[in-house]
Structure 1
């Protein structure tokens, strides 16, 4: 029994190493440049071993893409859940901006890989990640709607358009942000100011 549990735990760790390696490679080299040989080298396994855990290269890529969308949503939801109940939706939007950018740019290769490759992977690999992205988008939709209902966001603002523009701008930061020229703190503050002055009542 103990041997079976040990083998299972080792298998779980190996699968996770492969996923972590794939996220790293995919975030740097993109879908077209991601080779299983590179993933195997980073993960410390033989390339054929990957097929024990994933049926194909595309199965591995899809799992990384889904995990990227899923993990950023959980991270932001956890940051919001940790706030006191009296914190209103507008302030929660600002906290969400902070949590999203820090997770995307300094914590998770998965989210970077998911964002960078959304337009590169074949359509059939986008179905499951896109559903997760839809769940995440609804988190922001509810916050913006509640903030507008409370009078904290301009009544004349199309919050759906602003929300999509904000998420798009934050996601695009993976392509241009350089920590050597602008700190992450500065980027977070500037994005929060965009919300305050662009949407605030």
Structure 2
């Protein structure tokens, strides 16, 4: 069983006397930027402190260690991805078709990690490189996002939009894996974010929805996924 966040993460420390309001948030934002640009192995507390406008030892007033800071950044990134995609789906309305809901989720995920949130980018670029203890602590948050996609795909099968011959676990991991890989290769000069979104929607749509089947033949996903990526 994966440990819960409270079992692995020390509680957030209060600001020391004389500290400027919002210092912890500035450190988190700076860490997200550095992790997004340099990756876990090359991220140093001194670089984060410089960007946050604090002395390096001051970081320890808010975080017990470098890995504690990294974990808090990734946890916030996972929270933002789930929150943003969920909000986009809710805005779509109850009458939105299962296919359109998957297209909405693709759009929301890509726009968040490519142009809206360095926290989300930090997750996708670093989760596979951090120590196992951090990944295990973040697993419940990752699983929540995979659960959202599990429901989206199962609803599409139940609606007859996706063939029951499609292995939904594989489909889910392939789609989320492709979305998460985008920050590794995308840059402004390559293509606008809108083109990336539309191309991804077309590829996923043509692949998943190429074959349809009667609703009573639908086979929802029942197996447990490996450690999540998002």
Q: TM-score, normalised to structure 2's length? A: 0.81
The partner residue of 1:65 within 74, 85, 98 is: 74
Shift of 1:122: 0.9
Residue 83 of structure 1 is matched in structure 2 by: 92
- The answer on 1:146 being equivalent to 2:191 is no
The superposition leaves residues 70-89 of structure 1 with CA deviations (integer Å, 9 ceiling, x where unpaired) of 11111000111111211122
Residues in 2 aligned to 1:162 and 1:188: alpha-carbon distance in whole angstroms: 18
Shift of 1:132: 0.8
Residue 21 of structure 1 is matched in structure 2 by: 30
- The answer on 1:129 being equivalent to 2:138 is yes
- The answer on 1:157 being equivalent to 2:166 is yes
The answer on whether the counterparts of 1:19 and 1:64 sit within 8 Å (CA) in structure 2 is yes
Shift of 1:8: 10
Residues in 1 aligned to 2:182 and 2:203: alpha-carbon distance in whole angstroms: 14
Question: Would you identify which runs of 4 or more consecutive aligned residues in structure 1 move more than 3 Å?
Answer: 7-11
Residues in 1 aligned to 2:65 and 2:159: alpha-carbon distance in whole angstroms: 49
The partner residue of 2:177 within 143, 168, 182 is: 168
Residues in 1 aligned to 2:157 and 2:105: alpha-carbon distance in whole angstroms: 16
Structure 2 gap ranges (5+): 1-16, 213-230
The answer on whether the counterparts of 1:23 and 1:64 sit within 8 Å (CA) in structure 2 is yes
Residue 217 of structure 2 is matched in structure 1 by: none
The partner residue of 2:53 within 30, 44, 59 is: 44
The superposition leaves residues 139-175 of structure 1 with CA deviations (integer Å, 9 ceiling, x where unpaired) of 0100100111010112221122111101001111111
The partner residue of 2:195 within 175, 186, 189 is: 186
Shift of 1:109: 0.9
Residues in 1 aligned to 2:176 and 2:118: alpha-carbon distance in whole angstroms: 18
The superposition leaves residues 169-195 of structure 1 with CA deviations (integer Å, 9 ceiling, x where unpaired) of 111111111221212111111111122
Shift of 1:45: 0.9
Residue 223 of structure 2 is matched in structure 1 by: none
Residue 199 of structure 1 is matched in structure 2 by: 208
Q: TM-score, normalised to structure 1's length? A: 0.92
Give aligned pairs, total: 194
The partner residue of 2:117 within 102, 108, 112 is: 108
